[in-house]
Amino acid sequence: MKSQAEKIAMLTSYDASFTTRIEQAGADVILVGDSLGGVIHGQPTTLSVTMEDMLYHTRHVAHARQQALLIADLPYHSYETKQSALENSQRFVDTGADMVKLEGAGSVAESIEHIIQHGIPVCGHLGLLPQSVEELGGYKVQGREQAAAEKMIADAKLLESLGVDMIVLECIPSELGKTISASLSIPTIGIGAGLECDGQVLVLYDLLGITPGKLPKFVKNFLATASADKGENLIVNAIKDFVTAVKEKRFPTAAQSY
Ligand code: KIV
């Protein structure tokens, strides 16, 4: 899709019913994200999410999934050694995932290499790393300073050289999202990383406007503007609006970017 300049629409899902609706709306990729710690468990961070939690949700999403690529998030502390990284990735694959996602670059390079060497595709995650929120001092835009931006570009290239197939870029300046996307042959999927990423992802509950509390600037409630007049239910229409806006490069706008 990247080589054909077709934008990639990704959404999170945690259960079978929403997975069916997300596919019906035409999303390309479904992520069983550890964001379920917030939107399903009501926790302030993703740090309490366990492998058992992730496997439970991945199993139900995989059961409903037909076409979309299915990625499962390796949770906090599940890929610290190359052995645990491979073992947990294999559990996701056995449950029906096509690819696993993990956060970081250099410090997890050994784990990434080991997973890929054993034939399991990997999605990277750079920028704001929710599993490192304590070290980062909160949920803040990353890569604003030149040194941090250069480090992120180098990390993205490292991930590509390790054989990673896709990279999520979270909460970074649009210019940096553009530079990283242009310097890689693998696709980047932005969440608060500007319009020039090769695709976009949102947490489903944010897109539907049902996540409680204050939301980041990159979130857009697509349900608020969805119409019921196409013989389809409002939720499917809201997701379709997101997919179309991504494909037509109308999301994110400057209002949802840094
Ligand atoms: O856990 C998650 O849902 C994610 C997305 C926000 C990219 O990692």
Q: Is the pLDDT of residue 44 over 90?
A: yes
**pLDDT of the residue at 228:** 80
- For residue 79, the CA-to-ligand 1 centroid distance in Å is 17
Q: Is the CB of 73 under 6 A from ligand 1?
A: yes
Q: Is the CB of 28 under 6 A from ligand 1?
A: no
**pLDDT of the residue at 232:** 80
Residues assigned a catalytic role: 170
**pLDDT of the residue at 230:** 67
State the SS3 of the chain. CCCCCCCEEEEECCCHHHHHHHHHCCCCEEEECCCHHHHCCCCCCCCCCCHHHHHHHHHHHHHHCCCCEEEEECCCCCCCCHHHHHHHHHHHHHHCCCEEECCCCHHHHHHHHHHHHCCCCEEEEEECCHHHHHHHCCCCCCCCCHHHHHHHHHHHHHHHHHCCCEEEEECCCHHHHHHHHHCCCCCEEEECCCCCCCEEEECHHHHCCCCCCCCCCCCCCCHHHCCCCCCCCHHHHHHHHHHHHHHCCCCCCHHHCC
**pLDDT of the residue at 129:** 98
**pLDDT of the residue at 231:** 75
Mean pLDDT rounded to a whole number for the chain:
97
Q: Is the CB of 206 under 6 A from ligand 1?
A: no
pLDDT band for 135, please (50, 70, 90 cuts): very high
